[in-house]
Amino acid sequence: MLLNCTAGVASVEALASAAAEDLDGKVLLDVANPLDFSHGMPPTLTIAGDDSLGETLQRTFPQARVVKGLNTVNAHVMVDPARVPGEHVVYLCGNDEAAKGRVEELLRSFGWREIVDLGDISGARGTEGVLPLWVRLMGVLGTADFNFQIRRA
Ligand SMILES: NC(=O)c1ccc[n+]([C@@H]2O[C@H](COP(=O)([O-])OP(=O)(O)OC[C@H]3O[C@@H](n4cnc5c(N)ncnc54)[C@H](OP(=O)(O)O)[C@@H]3O)[C@@H](O)[C@H]2O)c1
């Protein structure tokens, strides 16, 4: 499994520098967010609305099996969800079911319990789209150790 942990604005360029065979058939867990910090804080999304970075990567590198995940939590929480008390959620999306299964196994090994599969890679529009809210919350709460929780009726 490969992880894309590059700056979202540079992810296409970064992955293009890999040899094509290095991406061929590989599960690519994309944790990046297409955030532009060039005008200071707060950052803005460079891809939004009817597209996402996850979709851009899948389109640009069709030989890879892109799974979007973990991009909605801080890096420490990604690998140690118990830093945030109680139940809280992590999302997955991607076009390849087996690839999502591999990523789900990885997430469970980190301790994630509430893993929501949002379907195909266009689900990344939503998970990337919450970043302006996430950044705002970090400022208000004064910590990056937080996450969203879903409550069903
Ligand atoms: N940090 C978090 O808590 C967190 C949480 C969720 C999602 N993410 C996402 O994860 C990604 C990495 O986050 P970060 O906090 O580690 O960001 P960062 O400290 O800014 O690191 C960005 C990385 O991208 C690389 N990079 C930039 N331009 C590149 C290019 N043209 N080619 C190859 N590599 C390039 C940088 O390499 P050099 O150092 O060599 O320039 C660096 O390793 C981002 O997309 C971010 O949105 C981060």
46 touches ligand 1 (CB under 6 Å):
no
With cut-offs at 50, 70 and 90, classify the pLDDT of residue 44.
very high
At residue 15, the pLDDT reads 98
This model's pTM is above 0.75: yes
Residue 44: which of 57, 33, 58 has the closest Cα? 33
If you average pLDDT over residues 4-18, what whole number do you get?
A: 98
At residue 13, the pLDDT reads 98
At residue 133, the pLDDT reads 98
Ligand 1 center from residue 152 Cα (angstroms): 34
131 touches ligand 1 (CB under 6 Å):
no
Residue 46: which of 35, 33, 54 has the closest Cα? 35
